[in-house]
Amino acid sequence: MTVSTPGLSGLRRAGALAAAALAAVALAVAPGAHAEAAGVTLPIGDADLTQVSTSRTLADGVTLTRIVRGTDPAPADQINTTTRGPWVVNVLTIDPRRARGHLKATYGPTLGQVEKTTDLVRDAGALAGVNASFFTFTASQLYPGDPVGLGLYGGKLLSEPTSEPGEVNFVVDATTNRALTGKLTWSGSVRNRRTNAVLPLEFVNHPPVIPAGCATLVDQTRCAEAGDVVQFTPEFDSATPSGAGVEVVLDRLGCVVRTEATRGTALATGQTSLQATGRDAAACSPWPDAAAWTEPRR
């Protein structure tokens, strides 16, 4: 498998990390940002609300600012509509001129499962942690940690960006502290090296969907409706999602290790797999030799 990231050409890909949609916790990587965070008036709620800001230094060049706007808790039935708060915003400020550490993205033991931020910080031996991209959570009982949006770890694409207008990507080169913020798009395809046949790649590390008209077909190669082709990496979980469809396991060079008539298998280090449902299952079933690549673009 080869990975091309032309939209991130200004970064060293080996150190590129990504996160999306920072919400109640803000991360600032800039000189002087601590003073700005402590002095800002949050533009939320009624104008007469009390606001209190406190700051503490976690390490040289690293400051945590806590901003509380409002004092009285809202009734349970007014939490989504109240103009009285309270709102709590934590701002972690990193001055790259003084801080001696580095930024690192982590997902824990596997992508597919969830962990508390405090556990991720402890396991990584980190000073502080910030929630990053969204994940499926209650939408998937088997894989609640399945990321929704861009996920780059150590320069490796483990989750593709969505087309949702609300997704904003934050990419950091941990080796240079250079950052890129904006909207990244993505496209991917799978090519058979022998026949040059090409299939579109819908997702990375996201369970494929079985077409509704073929839901009862155990043999998806008999399905005439469009399905999904998805790439999985060993980081996803202890095994790839199981179910009807075809799965092709590839080695690190993109050569076929085995082809399974159903989905769900354990991947060894360096292996990836392609899962296909719908009519794409028939196209993948005789796949003798394949290579996959993905291209996130800004």
Give the confidence band of 5 by pLDDT, cuts at 50, 70, 90: very low
pLDDT of residue 232: 97
**Whole-prediction pTM value?**
0.76
Residue type present at position 119: D
pLDDT exceeds 70 at position 8: no
Mean pLDDT of 89-96: 89
pLDDT exceeds 80 at position 6: no
pLDDT of residue 102: 79
pLDDT of residue 119: 93
pLDDT exceeds 80 at position 283: yes
Residue 255 CB partners (closer than 8 Å, separation 6+): 289
pLDDT exceeds 60 at position 77: yes
Q: What is the mean pLDDT of the chain?
A: 82
pLDDT exceeds 80 at position 26: no
Lowest mean pLDDT among 166-170, 198-202, 255-259, 286-290: 286-290
Which domains are present in the chain? 31-95 (no CATH), 186-297 (2.60.120)
pLDDT exceeds 70 at position 20: no
Q: Is 12 helix (H, G, I), strand (E, B) or coil?
A: coil
| pLDDT per residue as tens digits for the range 180-231 | 888 888 889 988 877 788 889 999 999 999 999 999 999 999 999 999 999 9
What distance, in Å, lies between the first and last C-alpha atoms of the chain? 21
Residue type present at position 90: N
Mean pLDDT of 65-84: 91
Selected residue with higher pLDDT from 28 and 112: 112
pLDDT exceeds 50 at position 61: yes
pLDDT exceeds 70 at position 100: yes
Contacts of the segment 47-53: beta carbons below 8 A, 24+ positions apart: 49/84, 49/85
